[in-house]
């Protein structure tokens, strides 16, 4: 993958001083992503261009311990992404931090700069870079069938300091109009970067200057807030998995009894370890229990609770099993309040690493649009005697809504 940075500032060769890389020398640097080569295709007083070429071995990437890549043929060596970001931070660390050079004035003076990335996923380029002072030229790369690919030859032009061009000035994220989108997309991919590409996500954290809230945390916060607002005391966590919501509920004293339910014995064992059930004080231990049960089977033991939560659960069921889930939860268990969260498939277009038409998780049987979720929820409410209202969870896009959708069912309040 390739990136070039060009200036016409006079003398243009000052770029070498600003980057701490001499124009007359080609150098190579080992990075966690591969071998990075730095060289200058042109270096004179009128124009200077530095190139960063990152060599990624796709075979080594697939064979790296812990990697979940399965194909030696992939876009990692060619398309700019997180691997190139890590290489930039490693090779140009001194310039990126804005440290002084032997020619101090250009280091703090904005100069005309052009950044070109020949292969870059382009869907959000203008939206993300224009507020940062760049003018973007995006030329989509055609496919063999005459259609355009999701990659483009991208050129950014602007007048910035070299340090700001490489990293952007302090506070850029807080002032960006799409701050929530940037943060959410980063967090959604953070673990996957470590797992698939072998990139240490900590190396990317410098790009974000403020505390981050993950989508999972946002969901839990929204659910806990709604449970509190409803005055719930005894709560079912249906499909509790590893117990993340259970831990959040136990931190709130108003929830006097919490029952985690899951079909997977392994998930319940993970939850028990995460909750440290054997180490909890007696009063805390009395507040929480785990139960193995099928959510699509009627279980009278789940009746009598104030509230039930199905957080990112329904999409893991085959659609023809949803009526059974509806009966088990809304008729047999029949809590006063039921909270259901599920992905909004319309938002998937904003996840750069997610191919078009692919669901967010390999085990998802479906993902609903906002209209589809509302139709399902309205049908359940009508059939089972509940009222329902809907809330977005996470940053909202004007056209596609929020990444997570939440339905709040209330018994008898119609």
Render pLDDT for 204-246 as a digit per residue (tens, 0 to 9).
444 444 445 678 888 999 999 999 999 999 999 999 999 999 9
> What is the rounded distance in angstroms from the CA atom of residue 366 to the CA atom of residue 185?
21
Prediction pTM value: 0.55
DSSP summary character for residue 181: H
The residues, any chain, with a CB within 8 Å of residue 320's CB and separated by 6 or more, are: none
CATH number of 215-411, picked from 2.60.120.10, 3.40.50.150, 3.30.420.40, 3.40.50.300: 3.40.50.150
Domain boundaries, the chain: 2-168, 215-411
Give the helix ranges, DSSP H, for 199-255: 215-229, 244-250
User: Domain 2-168 is of which CATH architecture?
Assistant: 2-Layer Sandwich (3.30)
Render pLDDT for 138-170 as a digit per residue (tens, 0 to 9).
999 888 787 888 888 999 999 988 888 877 666
Q: 230 near 260, Cβ under 8 Å?
A: no
Assess whether pLDDT exceeds 90 at residue 382. Answer: yes
What was the pLDDT predicted at 156? 93
Q: What is the DSSP string of 122-152?
A: -TTHHHHHGGGT-EEEEEEEEPTTSSEEEEE
């Amino acid at each position: 993958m390739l990136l070039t940075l060009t200036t016409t500032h006079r003398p243009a060769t000052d770029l070498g001083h600003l980057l701490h890389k001499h124009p007359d020398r080609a150098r190579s640097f080992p990075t966690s992503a591969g071998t990075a080569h730095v060289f200058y295709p042109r270096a004179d007083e009128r124009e200077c261009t530095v190139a960063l070429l990152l060599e990624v071995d796709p075979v080594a990437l697939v064979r790296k311990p812990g990697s979940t890549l399965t194909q030696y043929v992939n876009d990692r060596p060619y398309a700019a992404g997180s691997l190139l970001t890590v290489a930039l931070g490693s090779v140009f660390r001194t310039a990126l931090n804005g440290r002084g050079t032997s020619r101090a004035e250009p280091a703090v003076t904005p100069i005309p700069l052009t950044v070109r990335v020949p292969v870059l996923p382009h869907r959000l380029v203008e939206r993300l870079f224009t507020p940062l002072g760049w003018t973007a030229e995006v030329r989509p790369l055609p496919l063999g069938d005459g259609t355009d690919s999701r990659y483009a030859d991208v050129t950014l032009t602007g007048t910035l300091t070299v340090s700001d061009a490489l990293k952007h000035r302090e506070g850029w994220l807080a002032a960006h109009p799409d701050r929530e989108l940037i943060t959410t997309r980063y967090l959604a991919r953070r673990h996957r970067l470590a797992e698939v590409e072998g990139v240490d996500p900590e190396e990317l954290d410098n790009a974000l200057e403020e505390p981050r809230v993950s989508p999972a945390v946002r969901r839990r916060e929204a659910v806990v807030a709604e449970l509190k607002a409803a005055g719930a005391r005894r709560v079912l966590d249906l499909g509790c998995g590893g117990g993340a919501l259970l831990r959040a509920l136990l931190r709130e004293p108003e929830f006097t009894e919490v029952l985690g339910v899951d079909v997977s014995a392994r998930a319940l064992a993970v939850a028990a370890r995460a909750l440290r059930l054997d180490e909890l004080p007696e009063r805390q231990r009395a507040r929480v229990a785990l139960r193995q049960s099928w959510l699509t089977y009627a279980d009278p033991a789940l009746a009598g609770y104030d509230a039930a939560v199905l957080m990112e659960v329904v999409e893991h069921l085959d659609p023809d099993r949803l009526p059974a889930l509806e009966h088990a939860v809304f008729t047999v268990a029949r809590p006063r309040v039921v909270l259901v969260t599920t992905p909004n498939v319309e938002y998937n277009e904003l996840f750069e690493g997610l191919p078009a038409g692919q669901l967010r998780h390999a085990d998802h049987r479906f993902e609903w649009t906002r209209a589809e979720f509302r139709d399902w929820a309205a049908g359940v409410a009508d059939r089972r005697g509940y009222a329902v209202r809907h809330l977005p969870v996470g940053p909202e896009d004007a056209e596609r809504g929020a990444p997570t959708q939440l339905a709040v069912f209330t018994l008898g309040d119609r």
